[in-house]
Structure 1
Amino acid sequence: MIPFTDFGNLEVLVIITGFVCLAFYFADPCHLRKCSSNMITQLYSYNGPNGPSSWKNLYTKSNGPQQSPINISQFTNTVSADCENNILAFSEEYNVTPKDMSIYNDGHSVTIYARWESGLRPEITGGPCSERYEFLNARFRWGPNDEEGSEHTMECKAYAMELQAVHIKCGKHYETLSEAVEDDAVLIVSYFYEITSVINPYLQPLIAALPKIRHPCVCVCMEPIPLFFLMPSFISKYVSYVGSLTHPPCTEGVLWIIQTEPLGIASSQVAQFRRLCSFSGNLVMNRRPVQNINDRDIIFYD
């Protein structure tokens, strides 16, 4: 198994998926069920009989008491925190253009990977983080229209998209993301994107690369851009809580940080994501419905 923290294996991933999914290029692009019937990633989807309501039948962890996403509301279990004495800090690497950057369509989402010349990865410290976390990857969530794309909601309001940046505790190495979560080693920093009347130029290198990964199991290089373009640093106006992965196996133990002030994206840019394909058709949505908060606290950093 390729360690998921080893970015040196990105080239290997491209080669392997190229052979495994060669048939995708010769098939009807959005009817690939026959090409991938044995792939484990087909065990779940976001609609139909394998949709979120059925996940608990295959993934018992998805029925736990601390699931994600949630609705963020000041009328639930909220706690106010002082962000001045323990500032959330993003390392300089967030502002540095990576040596290379890749995007991958796994049939469920678009994931971004990157490597830097220094060999270092962007890190986050402070705020609710008791240790240093380093960037692993970032994936996008969207919906069938511009009003319901984000997984998390604010006072029951959804946004057009949500970007979830996965981080792992520094110095840790795991074979799977679920294994890292079970070791309380995962931080996910989430950003909302709302519709604006103008195109977001910072997203254009990513948008331009999307047609190249229309088919599942395709990983390609894109024009490298600083992560700051996608996920600006912030020190206030955010919330944190303990939840889970929002995709199977939905392992609990994830520390979530959510920036509550949305970024901008044009409707035409979001539409490019909906043109991608899953294993069973168009990938028009990949959002899990909100889960019960139960007795968890939501910590507000103003």
Structure 2
Amino acid sequence: MVECSLCSLLNFLFNCIYHVISCALDYPLVVIALSFIIALVFVTNIYTAKLICDFRCPIRVSSAGVGNCSGGSGGIGGGFGSTQYDYGPDNGPHNWRCSDANQSPINIIEENVQKLPIRELLCWNHYDDLPSGIMLENNGHTVVLRACFSGNTPTVSGADLLACYTFVELCFRWSLMSNDGSEHMLNYRKFPLELQAMHRTGPSGDCTSSYDILMIGYFFEISSNNPYLDPVVQNLQRIQKPGSKIEIPPFPLSYLLYQFRTGFYSYGGSLTEPPCYQGAEWFLFPEPLAISERQLSEFRQLLSKDGKTRILRNSRPVQNINCTRVINLNQYNPIDACQMEQTRPASDVQCEEEECPE
């Protein structure tokens, strides 16, 4: 009898709830409210899953924002805090909490450089291809350019590299003064602008560290107008405010990244933004490229993260080289390089690209 009474009570409650819901659904406002609650629960679950993913994989390099050029959300980092650091007196480089060993940038002194014969020329693949889209961003610290491709993504291989490196993004360093601006120095000389292109190994989005990163740097000096910079320079006014992003008409990355194949400097360093992880390989092309005063002034109009002051300096000072660090001048010399190959592991470049002609 007790069980039957309990069953009758449950059936009565179920029927009451069913009739209440059925009647409530006849009112559009109730349907809208229930739909909103369901959508809110769905979005909350997705956001929670993203937080869990980011926590389990805090060191991430992807085309959405990475390390040395990100200066904010995403990318390699933690440490100092992506929203805390800047280049001013309070949170500037002298207050960054970074390692003291093998840091970047450095002053490259020609007489102290070691000549390194390379068996293969540096090989650039698909940099002449037209991207399917290019995004330009002012992240409050610098200008970041990212590109997406419907086909093959540009890669760098050959020379003394033991892997194939895929393009991720590029950014710029400058200053208010034309005798300053670049992060690296060459024979105690600074340049008004430095372009830095980040590359990495492995498929985009995998958890990684700075040991998978290749940074390629170019110096610019004041000269005549450089038409290859115009696709970027002509759109800088559209990203004057920090945090602004725009899509610009695509152009080949070879417009900005000169495809040098020999005669470049290389050394082991770090990322140049907090937390300045060690292990990044740097390639620097020593011959400055051209930029006009008008083009350079467009970079100086961009606003910093506070939205009020302009970005008048975004370069880290040069770091100690240390007596154990070697800076190489890579020069194509297959005969000498083959002799050196006998004392080091063979190259294992897994990059299915076309061969570069010698």
Determine the structure 2 residue equivalent to 1:86.
Answer: 120
User: Residue 187 of structure 1 aligns with which residue?
Assistant: 214
Q: Deviations over 1:47-73 (max 9, x none)?
A: 2211110112xxxxx232100000011
SS of the residue aligned with 2:232?
A: helix
Structure 1 equivalent of residue 167 of structure 2: 135
8 Å contact from structure 1 (residues 237, 261) kept in 2:
no
Higher relative contact order (Cα pairs below 8 Å, separated by 6+ residues): 1
Deviation at 1:100, TM superposition (A): 0.7
Residue identity opposite 1:274 in structure 2: R
After superposition, the C-alpha distances for 1:117-147 in whole angstroms (9 at most, x for unaligned) are: 21x2100001231100000000100011111
Q: Distance in 2 between matches of 1:88 and 1:110?
A: 27
Letter in 2 for 1:72: I
CA distance in 1 between counterparts of 2:259 and 2:218 reads 11
Report how far residue 171 of structure 1 moved. 3.0
**Where in structure 2 are the equivalents of 1:105-116 lying within 5 Å?**
105-116=138-149
Q: Provide the secondary structure at the position in 1 that maps to 2:127.
A: helix
CA contact 1:128–1:240 (8 Å) conserved in 2 = no
Which residue, 174, 184, 209 being the options, matches 1:152? 184
Q: Which residue in the other structure is 1:28 paired with? A: none
1:44 partner SS: coil
Counterpart check, 1:46 vs 2:87:
yes
CA deviation vs aligned residue, 1:178-208 (integer Å, no higher than 9, x gap)? x421xx1000011111110x21111111111
CA distance in 1, matches of 2:268, 2:163: 15
Alpha-carbon distance in 2 for matches of 1:250, 1:86: 31
d(CA) in 2 for partners of 1:293 and 1:213?
Answer: 36
Say if 2:194 is the partner of 1:167.
no
In structure 1, runs of 5+ residues without a counterpart are 10-16, 18-39, 57-61
Q: 1:164 Cα shift?
A: 0.4
Please give the secondary structure, in 1, of the residue aligned with 2:234: helix
Unaligned runs of 5+ in 2: 1-49, 55-59, 66-72, 74-80, 332-358
The aligned amino acid for 2:103 is Q
Structure with bigger gyration radius:
2
Task: Provide the secondary structure at the position in 2 that maps to 1:117.
Answer: coil
> Are 1:100 and 2:133 an aligned pair?
yes
Say whether the 8 Å CA contact 1:69–1:151 is kept in structure 2.
yes
Structure having the larger proportion of residues in strand: 1
SS at match of 1:75: helix
Distance (Å, rounded) in 2 between the aligned partners of 1:193 and 1:116: 27
Deviations 1:220-254 (CA, angstroms, capped at 9, x unpaired):
11121111110110112211000000111101000
Counterpart Cα distance in 1 of 2:246 and 2:82: 19
- Asked whether the equivalents of residues 63 and 204 of structure 2 are also in contact (C-alpha less than 8 Å), the reply is no
The yes-or-no answer on 1:5 pairing with 2:40 is no
145-154 or 166-175, which deviates more: 166-175
SS at match of 2:110: coil
Q: Distance in 1 between matches of 2:267 and 2:221?
A: 22
Q: Is the contact made by 1:133 and 1:168 (CA closer than 8 Å) also made in structure 2?
A: yes
Aligned-residue Cα RMSD (Å) equals 1.8
Check whether the contact 1:88–1:124 (CA below 8 A) recurs between aligned residues: yes
Q: CA deviation at 1:278?
A: 0.8
Q: Taking structure 1 as the reference length, what is the TM-score of the superposition?
A: 0.81
Give the conservation status (yes or no) of the 8 Å contact 2:104–2:272. Answer: yes
State the Cα distance separating 1:4 from its structure 2 match.
Answer: 4.5
- Report the Cα distance in structure 1 between the residues aligned to 2:156 and 2:240, rounded to whole angstroms: 32
Q: In 1, distance between residues paired with 2:243 and 2:255? A: 26
Q: Distance in 1 between matches of 2:301 and 2:116?
A: 41
For residues 72-100 of structure 1, give each alpha carbon's deviation from its aligned partner in whole angstroms, at most 9, with x where no partner exists.
11233x321113x2211000x10112111
The amino acid that maps onto 1:98 is P
Q: Secondary structure at the match of 1:271?
A: helix
Give the match for residue 276 of structure 1. Answer: 302
Aligned to 2:313: 285
- Equivalent position amino acid for 2:298 in 1: Q
Aligned-partner residue type, residue 326 of structure 2: D
Structure 1 residue 172, shift from structure 2 partner: 5.8
Report the CA distance between 1:174 and its aligned residue: 3.4
**Distance in 2 separating the partners of 1:267 and 1:225:** 23
The aligned runs of 1:205-284 (5 Å cut-off) are 205-280=231-306, 281-284=309-312
Structure 2 residue aligned with 1:71: 107
**Count of aligned pairs between the two proteins:** 257
Task: Decide whether the 8 Å contact of 2:86 with 2:93 is kept in 1.
Answer: yes
Give me the whole-angstrom Cα distance separating, in 1, the residues matched to 2:171 and 2:204.
Answer: 21
> What's the counterpart of residue 20 of structure 1?
none
